[in-house]
Structure 1
Amino acid sequence: MNTDTAVLPVMTAAPAPEARRRPGVLRQLAVDSGYTLTNFPVAVAAFVIVVTGLSVSAGLLVITVGLAVLAATLVAARGFAAVERAWLPAVLGRPVPTPAYLVPEGGVVRKLLTPLRDPQTWLDALHALIRFPLAILGFVVTVVFWSIALTGLTYGAYDWTLPNSSTDPDNQDLLEVLGHESTAGRRILLYTAIGLVAAVILPFAVRAVALLQAQLSRIMLTSRAATQAEIGRLAEGREAAVAAEAVALRRLERDIHDGPQQRLVRLSMDLSRAQRQLDRDPGAARTTLTEAADLARETLEELRALSRGIAPPVLADRGLAAALAALAARSPVPVELAVDLPTERLAPVTENTAYFVVSEALANAAKHSDASTCRVALASDGLRMRVVVEDDGIGGAVLAPGHGLAGLTDRLQAVDGVLTVDSPRGGPTRMTAELPCA
């Protein structure tokens, strides 16, 4: 068995995710201005409809019509909230989750009452009330700063068209109000300077009021959706952990049944035969006992191999790097191992998962890839670990239910990890796992 192993240092850590591209100032100004200006009439409509609907439904609650009006009001608030959520990604620069509303079920009355039982619809209605003053503020700030900037920067083009104190003593401009002599040149210089200052402040002022409205909408309209998504992610991780453990237990049971259990049955039979041969044929009994001793050693070695696949003692005693070195030395396929890990020990679940990934990948490569060499690289920046296993085999590995890599996917999903496989027909196969270090 060829176990040539090269232990090489890894000089680079896992690549950082690509930075999100930020829009330019003018594009962001256009987005924010469009948001604040468009948001104002929508906010007015939402405020009027929700306030009117709540007021009418409160007066009609003594009869069934009141519930219908209240339900219709909440559904309308949900529609306005959906429009707002559609605008948020452009303003915030990132996607926002959409909450899961209750689905109407049952009879007519139960379906009618569904919006009344959904907490998110009440948040939508509350948002329609709270956003109204902020929408007014955003609209006023945007219109005022755009007006000052545009009229100031273009004042020199139309100063001659405006009446002044020379033609009408009652028409005084800003210079005259401040007690200074007013001429066309001075007026143009002053108003152009004011327009320039407003133009410089404009992107920041509009961005501030846009973010104020968008952040309020994000908190009220998407925070519950984010919580629901986190709960769903944790539930999926728990289910993946249960599935991975179930697969591991079934495989362990199969390995024990097909290996050590069969050997132990044979060992028991050999010992019984030797006991019967002891009196009438001591030589044959000695031969049988020798065979039984060899069988016992093979069984013990197989049990040790199974235990190493579950949790090798070297992993707990000496850490992940030593455990992977021992794993590479036992691999039927020559392995080039490169490890760049912190000096301090990582969390046990991280080390166990990384060891399991490398062990399974090397086992699959030995069984199915016809590879002549494998390369294993581990790197960690203290927050996440990146494990890359590559072989020069025939390829064709897929991430699909029922295949050998499905267990790896479940194991990584249980710890918030991700597995990607690049394995074209003809090879090579490159398996990349990323998992948190804590």
Structure 2
Amino acid sequence: MSSVDDMTMTPAPALSAPVRMLRQIGIDTQYVLLGFPIGILTVSLLTTLFWTGVGTLVIWVGLPILLATMYVARGFAVFERARIGPVFHRSLQHPYYKKPKDDSFVRRVFTPLADGQSWLDLLHGVFRFIPSTIAFSFVITWWAGALGGLSWGLWGWSLPDGPDDQDLPELLGFDGSYGTKVAFYLAAGIFFAGTLYWVVRGAALLEGWFARGLLSGVNELREQVAQAEAGRELAQQQKAAAVSAEATALRKLERDIHDGPQQRLVRLAMDLGRAEQQFATDPDAARATITEALTQTRETLDELRALSRGIAPPILVDRGLQAALTALAGRCTVPVDLDAPTFERLAPAVESTAYFVVAEALTNVAKHSQASEVQVSVQRIATGLMVTVADDGVGGASLAKGHGLAGLDDRVRAAGGVLAVDSPVGAGTRLTAALPL
């Protein structure tokens, strides 16, 4: 086991809701205000390069110009992905770009032109000014309305009035007194300030989602498909592990019945047949044979009870995992140090898997480990249930096929968990199973 040094860390104080809103307004405002001139620059530069390249394709000069256009668009796209991060509170991953298969000039020229993400970068650079202009207009309008309306009373008196000039309040039917104008503009400023967060946030998201959809949408979709494929593969592995674990359990049960109760029942039938023959000639010998047959019957019942506990232990169903593990520890021929605190009942599949992990591990310890002591720990953690069985025996255990723990590994994987074994030769065995809840 590796030791971890304790470190004292002071958590950062959580920001209050008003502070978070003000911080987000600042982030979204700078994103939109900076995006407008960048959008104008991008569309001007990229359209010029692109159409120049298209127009000069007939003399082959257009190919390097188009290649330069793609790389310029990619540079703007990289910069934009970095700017989007604070708006969405997450960093956008760099998408996949097709790479040339060799270093030839032709491959280098045509690979970006044949790459879908490069064309999406160019499409974003050419049309980004549309959402940028819309977002910029709303943000400028709302900031001007909020700041101008709230402060109009401080500077509105200095505005000159021409003979034909009318202020907005007068055009809307209010009287022309200075106090009325101050009240009108103050009310307008309060309205703009009160709705500033949602308008600025919406404007930033309009521009941000347009950029995210073109610059990272395909990559995010690819990742979702990969995660779905990984989930399906994991489900298939769990299904295969469940089938393998069930087959292993059935083979073990069949072998145990054949080697134990079945042989005793065969001997019981032979003893009863011999006793039937002895009754006529030697009643005392017949009684002794029947007595031996009764002993065989009791031993057979004990073995059948033990096998039934391996299939579905009643104590686990009735009293829970802690009681079932206590009973297991009491039956083990090697002294067991059990650490299994009582907690709420878990899903039946989780409790059953944890029980069989400990049961199989203790059986292996008793048969093969030559250990003098075994420690069993079952702990409830944030991500699931952690089961650990450690002994001080000869070691050498393995999860490889053909070893005794292979079936147990299948059972744990069928439950969605992971089984690990650390068993150096001569240094004991530590078996750890992590089961998700």
Judge same fold: TM > 0.5, yes or no.
yes
How many angstroms does 1:55 deviate by?
1.3
Structure 1 partner of 2:269: none
Q: 2:345 aligns with which of 325, 340, 346?
A: 340
Matched, 1:103 2:94: no
Distance 2:26 2:147 in 1: 15
SS at match of 2:212: helix
1:225-304 pair list within 5 angstroms:
225-233=219-227, 238=233
Structure 2 partner of 1:163: 160
Matched, 1:197 2:200: no
The 3 A distance-change label for structure 1 pair 160 and 245 is same
Count of aligned positions: 348
Structure 1 partner of 2:378: 375
| Post-superposition CA distance 1:67-96 (Å, at most 9, x none) | 222222122222222122112221122343
Structure 1 partner of 2:88: 92
The 3 A distance-change label for structure 1 pair 245 and 122 is same
The 3 A distance-change label for structure 1 pair 355 and 88 is farther
SS at match of 1:389: strand
Distance 1:419 1:95 in 2: 34
How many angstroms does 1:154 deviate by?
0.9
* % identical aligned pairs: 30
Distance 1:375 1:124 in 2: 53
The 3 A distance-change label for structure 1 pair 177 and 386 is closer
Matched, 1:223 2:223: no
1:391-430 pair list within 5 angstroms:
none
Distance 2:69 2:414 in 1: 42
The 3 A distance-change label for structure 1 pair 196 and 324 is same
Distance 2:214 2:414 in 1: 30
Structure 2 partner of 1:434: 436
| Post-superposition CA distance 1:326-369 (Å, at most 9, x none) | 98455654456756356xx8xxxxx4x88667755776798699
One-letter identity of the residue aligned with 1:160: W
How many angstroms does 1:27 deviate by?
0.7
Superposition CA RMSD, Å: 5.5
SS at match of 1:375: strand
Distance 2:372 2:149 in 1: 73
Distance 2:223 2:178 in 1: 63
How many angstroms does 1:239 deviate by?
8.4
SS at match of 2:128: helix
Residue range with higher mean Cα deviation, 202-211 or 231-240: 231-240
SS at match of 2:384: strand
Matched, 1:154 2:151: yes
Structure 2 partner of 1:214: 208
**Consecutive unaligned residues in structure 2, runs of 5 or more:** 1-13, 260-298, 366-370, 393-398, 422-429
Distance 2:436 2:168 in 1: 65
Residue range with higher mean Cα deviation, 118-127 or 46-55: 46-55
Distance 1:124 1:369 in 2: 67
Distance 1:360 1:218 in 2: 47
Distance 1:320 1:229 in 2: 42
The 3 A distance-change label for structure 1 pair 239 and 162 is same
CA contact (8 A) 1:152 1:195 kept: yes
Structure 2 partner of 1:54: 50
| Post-superposition CA distance 1:284-310 (Å, at most 9, x none) | xxxxxxxxxxxxx9xxx9xx99xx9xx
The 3 A distance-change label for structure 1 pair 356 and 391 is closer
CA contact (8 A) 2:378 2:387 kept: yes
Q: 1:388 aligns with which of 385, 389, 393?
A: 385
| Post-superposition CA distance 1:74-127 (Å, at most 9, x none) | 222222221221122211223433312122331121122121122111111122
Distance 2:185 2:411 in 1: 67
Matched, 1:128 2:131: no
The 3 A distance-change label for structure 1 pair 152 and 99 is same
1:27-106 pair list within 5 angstroms:
27-106=23-102
How many angstroms does 1:159 deviate by?
2.2
How many angstroms does 1:391 deviate by?
5.5
Structure 1 partner of 2:22: 26
One-letter identity of the residue aligned with 2:38: V
The 3 A distance-change label for structure 1 pair 21 and 226 is farther
Of structures 1 and 2, the one scoring higher in RCO (CA 8 A, sep 6+) is 1
The 3 A distance-change label for structure 1 pair 25 and 235 is same
One-letter identity of the residue aligned with 1:98: H
CA contact (8 A) 1:377 1:388 kept: yes
How many angstroms does 1:139 deviate by?
0.6
Distance 2:58 2:413 in 1: 52
SS at match of 2:436: strand
Structure 2 partner of 1:399: none
SS at match of 2:61: helix
SS at match of 1:30: helix
Structure 2 partner of 1:183: 177
SS at match of 2:160: coil
How many angstroms does 1:142 deviate by?
0.6
The 3 A distance-change label for structure 1 pair 323 and 188 is closer
How many angstroms does 1:414 deviate by?
9.6
Distance 1:29 1:243 in 2: 48
CA contact (8 A) 1:43 1:135 kept: yes
**Consecutive unaligned residues in structure 1, runs of 5 or more:** 1-18, 265-296, 346-350, 379-384, 396-401, 422-427
Matched, 1:139 2:136: yes
One-letter identity of the residue aligned with 1:118: D
One-letter identity of the residue aligned with 2:124: H
